[in-house]
């Protein structure tokens, strides 16, 4: 059994609260992956599912800003849930958070929550008090107050009111970078089958020769290789500099558009 939290709520106070609640609810240590945007969440969700190998586990994913497009929702983007084999995933559905799950065919549809409907369901069945219901309904920290409670209810075999939400409603992932690792290697949303490996790959910041493995890129040269991130046989391409830092060399960050 594993529990992993992928979230943009990453200050020490928020980390401690989320990890403590997950540990209390599921009686096992939890892991937290801190991210900055929905595209980082999309890639890290795939990598967590790959790491779990479809085993018994729970993944909680939250990227839910209240500003900008987030203002179209009453209190932030809704959450939904689905299973990847025996792994339960609960995630915010707005933006690009589930775009790579869509691209890789991880899920075709999920069950979408309306939080106030769920809390009314819990209140009717004596699962929460009026005080807790009101706190969940109005909280700015829904990934702490609502998400682990919903995961626990489903994990224990309960059913929650939800509506079907087709993955086709999620935007397609852009051709962009979703992560820069500590070596400066840049993980992209591209797969090998999307490029012509016999020709240099044209990007908005240069042309990159393809190599199957990092070791094949000449010393201090740059290239595009098949990286370790992804799931099954489908692995994302990475932009690298052999013995150097690709992110620094090309001034790249997560979200940088490739083409």
Cα 155 off chain centre by:
20
Q: Output the pLDDT for position 28.
A: 93
Q: Output the pLDDT for position 63.
A: 93
- DSSP lists the bridge partners of residue 211 as 225
Q: For residues 163 and 62, state if they share a domain.
A: yes
Number of domains within the chain: 2
Q: Which of 147, 169, 191 is the last residue of a domain?
A: 169
Q: For residues 110 and 19, state if they share a domain.
A: yes
Task: Answer yes or no: is 258 within a domain.
Answer: no
Q: For residues 45 and 99, state if they share a domain.
A: yes
Q: Which of 113, 148, 169 is the last residue of a domain?
A: 169
Angle at 166 between CA 160 and CA 172, to 5 degrees: 130
Q: For residues 31 and 158, state if they share a domain.
A: yes
What is the domain range of residue 185? 177-250
Q: For residues 194 and 92, state if they share a domain.
A: no
Q: For residues 128 and 198, state if they share a domain.
A: no
Q: What is the mean pLDDT of each run of 10 residues along the chain (259 residues)?
A: 97 97 96 97 98 98 65 71 98 95 97 97 96 95 96 95 96 97 98 95 94 94 97 97 96 95
Alpha-carbon span 111 to 109, nearest angstrom: 7
pTM over cut 0.85: yes
Place of tokens 């493995």: 213
């Amino acid at each position: 059994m594993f529990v992993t939290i992928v979230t943009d709520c990453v200050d020490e106070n928020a980390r401690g609260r989320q990890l403590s609640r997950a540990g209390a609810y599921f009686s096992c240590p939890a892991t937290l992956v801190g991210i900055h945007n929905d595209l980082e969440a999309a890639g890290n969700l795939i990598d967590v599912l790959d790491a779990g190998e479809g085993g018994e586990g729970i993944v909680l994913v939250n990227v839910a800003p209240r500003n900008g497009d987030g203002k179209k929702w009453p209190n932030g983007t809704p959450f939904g849930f689905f299973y990847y084999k025996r792994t339960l995933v609960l995630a915010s559905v707005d933006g690009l958070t589930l775009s790579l799950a869509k691209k890789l065919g991880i899920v075709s549809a999920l069950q979408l929550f309306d939080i106030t409907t769920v809390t009314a369901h819990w209140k009717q069945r004596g699962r929460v008090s009026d005080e807790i219901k009101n706190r969940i309904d109005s909280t700015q920290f829904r990934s702490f107050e609502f998400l682990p409670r919903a995961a626990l209810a489903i994990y224990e075999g309960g059913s929650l009111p939800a509506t079907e939400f087709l993955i086709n409603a999620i935007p397609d992932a852009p051709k962009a970078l979703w992560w820069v690792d500590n070596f400066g290697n840049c993980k992209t949303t591209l797969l090998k089958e999307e490029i012509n490996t016999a020709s240099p790959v044209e990007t908005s910041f240069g042309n990159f020769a393809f190599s199957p493995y990092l070791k094949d890129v000449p010393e201090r040269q740059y290239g595009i290789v098949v990286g370790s991130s992804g799931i099954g046989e489908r692995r994302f391409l990475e932009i690298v500099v052999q013995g150097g830092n690709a992110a620094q060399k090309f001034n790249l960050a997560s979200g940088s558009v490739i083409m």
